Chain A
Amino acid sequence: DTEVTQTPKHLVMGMTNKKSLKCEQHMGHRAMYWYKQKAKKPPELMFVYSYEKLSINESVPSRFSPECPNSSLLNLHLHALQPEDSALYLCASSQDQKGRGQPQHFGDGTRLSIL
C-alpha cells in the first residue's frame, strides 16, 4: 500500500465544474509535489510546496490552484478545465525539497477526465 493517499481515484467533470483533488501523507515529509502525466509520457512537475509554502510553480495555468493547508495535506483546486487537461494527476512527497538524494514517494494518482 502506498504511503501517499490520493482521492478521488477517478474524476469526471465538465468544463464549467469546480472540483478538488486531495493528497495526504503521514511520513513527516515537508515537501509535497503535484505532477501531471499524460498517457505514454513521463510525469511533468506542476507545483512544489516546501514547508507549506509554494516554492515552485512550473508556469501552470491559473485554472489549477494548489493549496497546502498543513504539512500532511495538499490540495489541487480545479476550475474551468479544458479537455486537454485530462490526465493522471500524481501527488508525491519527500523529506524536504533541498535534499537531492531523498526519493519522492508517489500516490496512486487521480485519473481526471474533462468532458
Chain B
Amino acid sequence: AQSVTQLDSQVPVFEEAPVELRCNYSSSVSVYLFWYVQYPNQGLQLLLKYLSGSTLVKGINGFEAEFNKSQTSFHLRKPSVHISDTAEYFCAVSDGGSGNTGKLIFGQGTTLQVKP
C-alpha cells in the first residue's frame, strides 16, 4: 500500500527566508503526487501536482516542488515566504497503476509558521 511521510511536523521560518517542506512516498510503479495547503479554519486547496513530464512543478503562490524518483521524494519549496503563507501543508499520493480509483493518501501534515 502507498504511504507518505512528511519529515517535519513544524517548520518555523522568518519572513522573506526560503523554505523547504519535505515529503517522501513509498515506491510504486507510477504515482501522482500533490501538495495541498490548509489555511486556518478552512478546507484544503491544491497548491500543485505532478502527474508526468517535467520533474519540476510550479504551483500557485510562488511554490514549486521537485519530483525525485530515485529518492522517492517530492519536496515543496518557496524562495521567499510571506506571513500569509502560514498554514498547514499536506503532501499526498494517488496510485497511478491499473485499477486506480483516484484515492489520495495523505501525509501527516507540516505546519509552516512564518515569523515577522
A, B co-complexed: no
Q: Which residues does A use to contact B, with CB under 8 Å?
A: none
